Amino acid sequence: MHASGQIVRIAVAAWRRRRWFIAGACAAGVALVTGLLWPMDTNRYLNAGASPQMLDRDGKLLYAFLNDEQQWRFPRALDEISPYIVQATVAVEDQRYWEHPGVDAFAIARAILQNVFRARIHSGASTITMQVVKLADDSDRTVFGKLAQAWQSLRLERNADKDAILDAYLNSAPYGLNLVGCEAAARRYFGKPASELTLSEAATLAALPKSPVGLMPLKHPDAAKARRGYVLDRMAAEGFISDDDCVRAKGDALTAAWNEFPQLAPHLAMRIASSAKPIMSTQTTLVYALQERMENEVTEYLKQFDNDVSNAAAIVVDAETAQILARVGSADFFGTPGGGQVDACRAPRSPGSALKPFTYALGIERNVLYSTEMLLDDSLDYGLYNPENYDGKYRGLVSASYALRRSLNVPAVNVLDRLGYDDLHRFLQNAGITTLVKPADYYGLGLTLGNCEIRLDELAAAYCTIANLGEYRPLQDVAGASPTPVRVISEGACLSVYGMLDQELPNEFQRDIVRARGYVPRICWKTGTSTGNHDAWAFVFNRHYVVGVWLGNNDATPSKYLVGARAALPLAAQLFRSLPRKAMSDWPEAGNAMRTVKLCADTGLPAAPWCPHASTDILPAAQFLNRKCDVHYPSPSGDGAVQRWPASAKGWDLANVNATIATVRGDATRKEGFRILAPTNNAEFVLTREANSDRIRLRSSADGSTTVHWYLDGEHIGVSGPGTPLFLDLGDGEHQLACMTASGATDTVTFSVAAPYAPQTFRTAHAQ
């Protein structure tokens, strides 16, 4: 009885132990299954940290930086990698990759048998999935480490597809030096992206992860070539390539060499890298081929100036989207001492006459100018400001279009005087110019001649506004949603400027474009030269593109070569010719924005009924025709018309307007509205003590129509009349100037004249 009870107790105890074992085994099984099925954060395995890189609009590498681990690593999607390297990697690293669940039992059994029979470690059983886990977790090579790898590999395969895991391996495997991933290796060793690798090149790279140091082709070419042959044999054995392909690839020379990574658009790359929220991969709006070509052309172009002109910047913009297609911030970012790193696209410089088109466009919009009218190009006095043309010459009566194309200063100042510099100042700010930080009074009338500082990229954006018919967008250099356009000027005013600047490039440049592109593009262009020849500018544009160029020296040293038309325009034309031709017309359609108007053929103003010569032209449909021809009047006899040109036109050749100075009898003024035009009330003058420099012309609203008597400080000083201007030699002190017509109309102003002092507190600008 005692013995049987002992047996029962033993059996019960054994059952309990077996029950706990079964329960434990079940629990372990449930835990394993749950672990395998439980969602896994795959990010650290599949998305390893990349080197910061800047890409063009199509994803091509423009510039790259080392990552935090001081490695070059450029992750690429599997479809961006050559199939050869995918096949070579599978063939040599994990032949059963597509069949096993992350751990290959057959490979484990094979490795155990080989290692036992050879009494040493002959082969391993790590799969590609296990290597991805190892590279991410940096697990050790102990039994427990291998078990942990195997477990995580099984989980990873349950939570990610095979393509993603293989892609992760190709982007994180070591390829020698500090190169991680096949993309970095392909660019360093073969100077090309991984998508362009040949069969032999792919086999060379696929061999490296086994021994990145011992098989590195730059140091051990023989070992690398031998291992490449083994990889090709494995590819043939697995059926990835034919035996003939294998033999041919083995015969290829080992072409691995040291290749630098692309370093295009370095100024933009540095700005992106130093931004408040840098990201690993930034896609820009740039075009790789255009950027590379433009950098080379700018550097080559400057060689003709030797050391007289040391720097240049250029920008190419898609006019319709305001996206930057290429930009060069300096001629030599890495080699120019003390200045190459300065981004001249964003550095404020004096623009010279490059601002004139905006003065004319705004004058047209504000109804103070017709694009067809005649302007007088003659010396002007504006108190302390005496604008002159760049060449020191005057041309008399010229059309507004001629004045803008020839970049005449005096007519431009005349237009701004009518308009008011406050309006131009405000418009330029609305068109994206951020450097006009001082009040409009600081710049005055010289603003249209560029007595300010403006950035090349912002001025290019302003030209895009004209090219895009009045809609402003800030320039975009990083891919993303385009800013909403804002209308800052009318379509008609912009179309007028198109017509005024519609001109062929100088012959030597035009022939180059014809040869390069096979057709003559219809374009507009404008140049600028800063006072003292410190800066040369040029802008070439049409409906599709805006090209802006600046040339100068980093230390602002002047040069006789720094003239916009001679230095900057040839480069701008050269860059423009390299742009792809678009299907649409180069020129915008006028549509309903313009209308045909009958004009006086002599003055370019809307014709009065008695104008003897009429023509037609197009003007903005929204422009008021309130200013009619004021030169032609009906003759006293009623037959024909007489012409009354301003006295200031006397002496100029008026054959181009079929006119002569007319003598007008009687007083044509009215007491109301009669006033002195120059000098203005409360004007301030500073003597220069230079010959003929301290003389001003006295002007009134009755010039050209009647006799005017002038009085200075109560004393009669002379008479002005039709064809007879009167000049005044300035003297120190406060003065009162009065004038009176024969009919008794009078006006009085006061002005002051100071002795010379230095430095002068007013700003002047003489630009081309």
Which stretch of 30-34, 70-74, 374-378, 748-752 has the lowest confidence by average pLDDT?
30-34
For the chain, report the end-to-end CA distance as a whole number of angstroms: 127
Give the residue-averaged pLDDT of 249-266: 95
Q: In the structure encoding, which two tokens stand for residue 305, read together?
A: 């100036």
Confidence grade of residue 547 (pLDDT, cut at 50, 70, 90):
very high
Give the residue-averaged pLDDT of 510-535: 80
CA distance 248 to 240: 14
For 337-354, how does the pLDDT look when each residue is reduced to its tens digit (9 = 90+)? 657 889 999 999 999 999
User: Token pair 């060689």 is at which residue?
Assistant: 303
CA distance 730 to 736: 12
For 119-163, how does the pLDDT look when each residue is reduced to its tens digit (9 = 90+)? 444 445 688 988 998 888 776 666 666 777 788 888 888 888 899
What is the radius of gyration, based on Cα positions, of the chain? 40
Q: How many CB atoms lie within 10 A of CB 722?
A: 21
Mean pLDDT score of the chain: 84
User: Token pair 């080989």 is at which residue?
Assistant: 114
Give the residue-averaged pLDDT of 762-766: 36
Q: Is residue 45 predicted with pLDDT exceeding 50?
A: yes
For position 711, what pLDDT does the model report? 86
Q: Which residues pair with 545 in a beta bridge?
A: 318
* 691: three-class secondary structure by DSSP: coil
For position 707, what pLDDT does the model report? 82
Which stretch of 124-133, 447-456, 648-657, 742-751 has the lowest confidence by average pLDDT?
648-657
For position 146, what pLDDT does the model report? 74
Give the residue-averaged pLDDT of 462-468: 98
Active site residues: 93, 353
* CA–centroid distance for 698 within its chain: 47
For position 653, what pLDDT does the model report? 46
* CA–centroid distance for 318 within its chain: 9
The reported pTM is: 0.78
Residues 6+ apart with CB under 8 A from 326: 265, 286, 287, 290, 291, 293, 294, 314, 315, 316
Nearest Cα neighbor of 537 from 392, 348, 699, 727 is 348
Give the residue-averaged pLDDT of 581-590: 86
Give the residue-averaged pLDDT of 624-643: 80
Q: Is residue 322 predicted with pLDDT exceeding 70?
A: yes
Q: Is residue 751 predicted with pLDDT exceeding 70?
A: yes
For position 505, what pLDDT does the model report? 78
For 667-710, how does the pLDDT look when each residue is reduced to its tens digit (9 = 90+)? 333 334 678 878 877 777 777 665 555 777 788 877 767 788 88
Nearest Cα neighbor of 675 from 758, 584, 733, 740 is 740
Amino acid at 664: V
Nearest Cα neighbor of 450 from 503, 529, 347, 510 is 529
* 539: three-class secondary structure by DSSP: strand
For position 610, what pLDDT does the model report? 87
Q: Is residue 418 predicted with pLDDT exceeding 60?
A: yes
Q: How many CB atoms lie within 10 A of CB 440?
A: 17
Q: How many CB atoms lie within 10 A of CB 534?
A: 18
Nearest Cα neighbor of 736 from 711, 701, 703, 700 is 711
Residues 6+ apart with CB under 8 A from 456: 313, 315, 344, 345, 346, 347, 349, 537, 548, 550
Q: How many CB atoms lie within 10 A of CB 702?
A: 28
Sign of the dihedral defined by the CA atoms of residues 389, 395, 399, 405, in that order: negative
* CA–centroid distance for 640 within its chain: 57
Alpha carbons within 13 A on the beta-carbon side of 222: 0
CA distance 737 to 714: 8
Q: Is residue 544 predicted with pLDDT exceeding 80?
A: yes
For position 38, what pLDDT does the model report? 56
Between residues 518 and 250, the one the model is more confident about: 250
Query: In sequence order, what E strands does 623-714 have?
Result: 632-634, 641-643, 676-678, 683-686, 695-700, 708-712
Residue-wise over 94-122: b if at least 16 C-beta within 10 A, else e? Answer: beebeebebbbeebbeebeeeeeeeeeee
Sign of the dihedral defined by the CA atoms of residues 300, 306, 309, 311, in that order: positive
For position 228, what pLDDT does the model report? 97
In terms of C-beta density within 10 A (0-12 exposed, 13-18 middle, 19 or more buried), how is residue 15 classed?
exposed
Q: Which residues pair with 312 in a beta bridge?
A: 551
Which stretch of 144-153, 264-273, 560-569 has the lowest confidence by average pLDDT?
144-153
SS in 3 state form for 432-488?
CCCCCCCCHHHHHHHHHHCCCCECHHHHHHHHHHHHCCCEECCCECECCCCCCCEEC
Q: Is residue 475 predicted with pLDDT exceeding 60?
A: yes
Query: Would you call the peptide bond into 759 cis, given omega within 30 degrees of 0 as the criterion?
Result: yes
CA distance 654 to 81: 73
Contact 669, 706 (CB under 8 A): yes
Q: Which helix (H) or strand (E) holds 89?
A: helix 83-93
